[in-house]
Amino acid sequence: MAFIVYKRDGLAIALLEGLAEDEFPQVRINQVDEFSDWELDDSQCEGENWKVWPEEVVFYELLPLMREVVERVSMYNSYEESIIGNSTGVMLMKKAVDVWEKRMREKRGVPSCLLKCFSVESAKATLNSRRIRFSHPDAYNDLMEGQCVWQRNPDVKDEQKELDRVVEEHKKYLNRARICCFSEGGAGSMLPQWAYYANDAKGIMLAFNVDAVLKRFAPGEGKKEAIAKRRVWYVNNVQKEECFQDNLLDLYYVKHASWRHEREWRVVLDAEEDVKRLRLDVKAGNNEAGFPVMDVAFEMKDVNAVFLGPRMRPSDAEEIFKIIQGVAGNVKVYVVEVERHETYGNFRPFPIKSLEELKEFYGCHAPQM
């Protein structure tokens, strides 16, 4: 069985059903025939008018379109007949998008750096102590943290009750999980992160060296595999727990697709076993809300650059800059400023080499509120 997931005059795109969980969902395109139905027999998807799309074309041409359709359906719980008109097709599309996202996660290249946001106060604590915080999953802002993975039991009618039971079982084992979050991308392209995690752009971003992070937290792992594993996999459907039997902590690398814009990259550790195995220098305790945390030592040579937020107060910027000079004078420092034009805005990192240059910058540029 196949389902047409997109059609217009002279174009029909079909997904084939019945593939194994780990198979790449096959896409076939027909630019000749017209179809009135959304659901097709296998025989209707064969012949010279049907072409199979290779993975690369699917990734860069079809996946963005399918993301938009799935997000629209999820957001409004409705269908647009010009795009899709079959609920079974929607479910198949969601499954296909999840598989494609996982494959893309594995295929993408090495990020230039890993960015982490801080408020001014947390930045001071992090730079002065040279310790980065790993937090208990319950401390994070995702209400579904750790709940995108569970094994459905077809014999259980009350799925929500079953999900609650599984989540509670997970918590008994996963209470030792500690997570540190980063993002891939440039400091100028991360508007949500500046707003969410850097106190509305009044804080800073640290750009961590990828090799240094992997050496500290993933020694002995192949670089490509270590990076792919720690990229968050954004899914539309709950994934099966059996996919994570080797290490149940890996379920914290899975989040709902609505968080995709964060382009998150994580290090997830067992607060007991991994700390011993990696011989980490750790200070454990609780945060202000009472959640368990552990602050793990790092070296300033692990940091490629520091970005001061476009809304940072000059007095805070000067204090942060003095701390950086004291702990790592050779780390590059930039003030991120917003260049506004008639039809668009652009982030520009302005390099700062001395306290005098920083004062001169703020003498000419007011913080952009």
CA-CA distance, 150 to 241, in Å (whole number)?
A: 5
Average pLDDT, the chain: 83
| H/E segment holding residue 93 | helix 87-107
pLDDT band at 80 (very low <50, low <70, confident <90, very high): very low
The pLDDT assigned to 339 comes to: 74
Burial 26-52 (b: 16+ CB within 10 A, else e): bbbbbeeeeeeebbbeeebbeeeebee
The pLDDT assigned to 18 comes to: 57
User: Residues 189-225: pLDDT tens digits?
Assistant: 778 888 889 999 999 999 999 999 999 999 988 888 8
Tell me: pLDDT of 303 over 70.
yes
pTM of the model: 0.82
CB 266, CB 259: distance < 8 Å: no
pLDDT band at 83 (very low <50, low <70, confident <90, very high): very low
pLDDT band at 78 (very low <50, low <70, confident <90, very high): very low
CA-CA distance, 12 to 35, in Å (whole number)?
A: 8
CA-CA distance, 296 to 48, in Å (whole number)?
A: 60
Angle at 350 between CA 346 and CA 353, to 5 degrees: 170
Long-range pairs for 354-358 at CB < 8 Å and ≥24 separation?
355/318, 355/321, 355/322, 355/325, 358/317, 358/318, 358/321, 358/333
Tell me: pLDDT of 283 over 90.
yes
CA-CA distance, 217 to 232, in Å (whole number)?
A: 16
Over residues 329-334, mean pLDDT: 89
Tell me phi and psi for residue 189, to 5 degrees.
Answer: -110, 10
